[in-house]
Amino acid sequence: MADRNDIAIIGAGPAGLIAAEILATAGHRVAIHDRMPSPARKFLMAGRGGLNLTHSEDFERFLSRYGPARAFLEPALHAFTPGDLKAWAEGLGEATFVGSSGRVFPQSFKASPLLRAWLARLTGLGVVLHARQCWTGWDADGRLTFRGADGGLLHRHADATLLALGGASWPRLGADGGWVPLLRDRGITVNDLVPANSGVEIAWSPVFAERSAGEPLKRITAAIVGTSRRGEAIVTAQGLEGGVIYALAPLIREAIAAAGHAEISLDLRPDLDETALAALLGRPLGSQSLSTYLRKAAKLAPVAIGLLREATGNALPREAGALAALIKHVPLTVTRQRGLERAISSAGGIALDELDAGYGLRKCPGVFAAGEMLDWEAPTGGYLLQACFATGVAAAKGIEAWLNAQ
């Protein structure tokens, strides 16, 4: 059994909770401080549509989803794999299953049963949760400071501290990025927090927005600057939402930053090449309306046909080849991404070179960081939660190694 140390974890999301479990299991005294009235609110929100824990795809492909941050995250993801996350959930009584898309879910398809079992386990390990305590930094003696529910200032000594305060998406659920200036004041590089996995805004005509908002675009491909992703999207009154758009978020963000807008294209029939589609559209129109013809010959849903009209100012081509080319490459101009208040996650955060291999802040000995606070991003599909868990595990092990070295 390791010597008992007082460890403070700030943030009661998945990264903070899994770190607390590991450290308490090792025999340390662990207290979690969170500014919200109850823990893991964003985790619960994610579970409303079915809690996507991780993904079952080939691990090499899985790692590639983390883009430029892969090299930094890979050791943590190897140490706590999708299989480990599934086993952990099953150890809490929540069996998992793999959906048709390869995504992994608990059998209950909810977050609340898993969270209840998890919190009960943490209580049994002696972990103490302090709610309604907002971290405000350190005092002159190096103690952590918190603003309590009554507005009073609280001081707390810790032998080691883990920061797991999340990014800045869905701020009403707890992660509002208020920690950014506290770390920048310590000379730590924190890159601006910006929306990731967010919808985009497109200047629809009022008629299309009214008729099509809420309609799904199924089995499509979206592309930007030579990169394409296949999936689904939903038309909103403001633009588009959905996994196929979220997967291109980094490239869309870069294009908007460079040019003030982003040009994307949608392939409404990715299962057919342009030649095969043109052959289908070469049949006589007859007495049918063009919309009826497109619905029958090209198997397009009404929302897809409306999108073709929207993209061309209702001047659809009649020649089969031109019509097929349009269906395969519907041009759309994105004016902006939706804000952090509606983004699923955020990009930016603590620059990865500010951390050592144990997730300790080089400029703040004894202080560690994990989860969405760090500057990495990934698409939806289980990759976000997996990395939050894995970095929480890695930081907990980093804390143990640092304490042992002391």
Tell me the per-residue pLDDT of 153-173, one tens digit each, with 9 for 90 and over: 999 999 999 999 999 998 989
pTM score of the predicted model: 0.92
Mean pLDDT of 226-241: 96
Which residues, including other chains, have CB under 8 Å from residue 184's CB and lie 6 or more apart? 190
DSSP secondary structure code for residue 2 in this structure: P
Task: Note the pLDDT of residue 255.
Answer: 97
Q: Which CATH architecture has domain 200-337?
A: Beta Barrel (2.40)
Report how far Cα 302 is from the mean position of its chain's Cα atoms: 31
Above 80 in pLDDT, residue 380?
Answer: yes
**Residue 29 three-state SS:** strand
| E strand or H helix at 349 | strand 345-350
Decide: 349 and 165 in contact? Cβ < 8 Å: no
Residue 165, Cβ density class (10 Å: 0-12 exposed, 13-18 middle, ≥19 buried): buried
Mean pLDDT of 32-52: 91
Rg (CA), the chain: 24
What is the per-residue pLDDT across 329-357, written as a single tens digit (0 to 9) for each? 999 999 999 999 989 999 999 999 999 99
Mean pLDDT of the chain: 95
Split at pLDDT 50, 70, 90, the class of 307 is very high
Above 90 in pLDDT, residue 119?
Answer: yes
Task: Note the pLDDT of residue 114.
Answer: 96
d(CA 395, CA 389): 10
d(CA 166, CA 190): 13
Split at pLDDT 50, 70, 90, the class of 48 is confident
What is the per-residue pLDDT across 180-222, written as a single tens digit (0 to 9) for each? 999 999 999 999 999 999 999 999 999 999 999 999 999 999 9
Buried b / exposed e over 365-381, threshold 16 CB at 10 Å, is: ebbbbbbbbbbbbbbbb
Q: What is the dihedral of CA 292, 294, 300, 304, to 10 degrees?
A: -90
DSSP secondary structure code for residue 361 in this structure: B
For residue 403, which of 18, 30, 10, 105 has the smallest C-alpha distance?
30
Q: Would you list the domain boundaries of the chain?
A: 6-195+346-405, 200-337
Task: Note the pLDDT of residue 74.
Answer: 98
What is the per-residue pLDDT across 248-259, written as a single tens digit (0 to 9) for each? 999 999 999 999
CATH number given to 6-195+346-405: 3.50.50.60
What is the per-residue pLDDT across 137-154, written as a single tens digit (0 to 9) for each? 999 999 999 999 999 999
Split at pLDDT 50, 70, 90, the class of 3 is low
Above 50 in pLDDT, residue 2?
Answer: no
Which residues, including other chains, have CB under 8 Å from residue 33's CB and lie 6 or more apart? 8, 9, 10, 11, 130, 133, 135, 144, 146, 156
Split at pLDDT 50, 70, 90, the class of 1 is very low
- Of 1-5, 107-111, 240-244, 319-323, least confident by mean pLDDT is 1-5
d(CA 215, CA 232): 11
As given in the structure block, the two tokens for residue 52 are 């996507």
* Beta bridge partner(s), residue 129: 32
Task: Note the pLDDT of residue 244.
Answer: 95
* Angle, alpha carbons 396-170-132 (nearest 5°): 60
The interaxial angle of helices 82-91 and 383-405, nearest 10 deg, is 90
Buried b / exposed e over 11-39, threshold 16 CB at 10 Å, is: bbbbbbbbbbbbbbebebbbbbbbbbeeb
> Max Cα separation, the chain?
84
DSSP secondary structure code for residue 4 in this structure: P
As given in the structure block, the two tokens for residue 200 are 């985009």
Three-state DSSP string of 204-263: CCHHHHHHHCCCEEEEEEEEECCEEEEEEEEECCCEEECHHHHCCHHHHHHHHHHHCCEE
Please report, for residues 133, 146, 153, the alpha-carbon distance to residue 150 in angstroms, rounded to integers and kept in the order given. 10, 11, 9
β-sheet with 134-138: strand ranges across: 134-138, 144-147, 153-156
